[in-house]
Amino acid sequence: MTLDEALLFCPLIAILRGVRPDEVLDHAEALAEAGVRAIEVPLNSPEPLDSVARLAYALGDDCLCGAGTVLTVAEVEAVARAGAGLIVSPNTAPAVIARAVALGLSPVPGIATATEAFAAIDAGARHLKLFPARTYGPDHLRQLRAVLPAGVTVLAVGGVGPADMAAWWAAGARGFGLGSELYRPGQTPADTAAKAHRAVAATLELSK
């Protein structure tokens, strides 16, 4: 599944920061059952590559799985070896983006300014993560969106939840990365399922 396909199905990337390998599938399956089709495990989680590999093996046919907080080319290559397809970063690192593209992965670099956005695009990114979105607000994205190529998708990530989605959508966001709004370490898969259903329901209102 490509990132465009995943976001078209449901415009959410679930961020499982802090998840352990022994529990990752229970939470990921709850997310997938609710309709989420893109899931990342940040690399500052416990044994993250183990979790990423488990996700890719179990859910790779139905979800785009990968890693977040990817900062180096070596980490891109490690995620690729784990069988995943999604590379999410908090920053714009052209070498990371280019390596992800060369390996057939989907990079989602973090950007805040037009300079960072075009540097990411020049390196091969077609999906950008405005981060931290809450710091900048929908008006900032609206101005950026006016100069970005039409084929580039911007996701709002960082401090965004279901209650904020409509404002971000109106400003030009076409996806959202949700972390604590979906998952916090220690919560049960049932908690994750309930949060995921609420978040997915909120996305359904965006196209009305």
Assess whether 195 carries a catalytic annotation. no
Half-sphere exposure of residue 135: CA atoms within 13 angstroms, side-chain side = 8
- Known catalytic membership, residue 40: yes
Which letter, b or e, does each residue of 11-25 get, where b requires 16 or more Cβ atoms within 10 Å of its Cβ?
bbbbbbbbbbbebbb
**114, 139 in Cβ contact below 8 A?**
no
Judge whether 87 and 67 are in contact, CB under 8 Å: yes
Distance CA 123, CA 132 (A): 21
Residue type present at position 13: I
Single-letter code of the amino acid located at 148: L
CA–CA distance, 36 with 63 (Å, rounded to integer): 8
Can you name the residues that pair with 130 across neighbouring β-strands? 111, 156
Q: What are phi and psi of 47, to 5 degrees?
A: 45, 55
Nearest to 182 by CA among 6, 22, 41: 41
Catalytic residue among 23, 129, 181, 195: 129
Return d(Cα 5, Cα 110) in angstroms, integer.
20
Annotated catalytic residue: which of 40, 75, 181, 195? 40
Active site residues: 40, 129
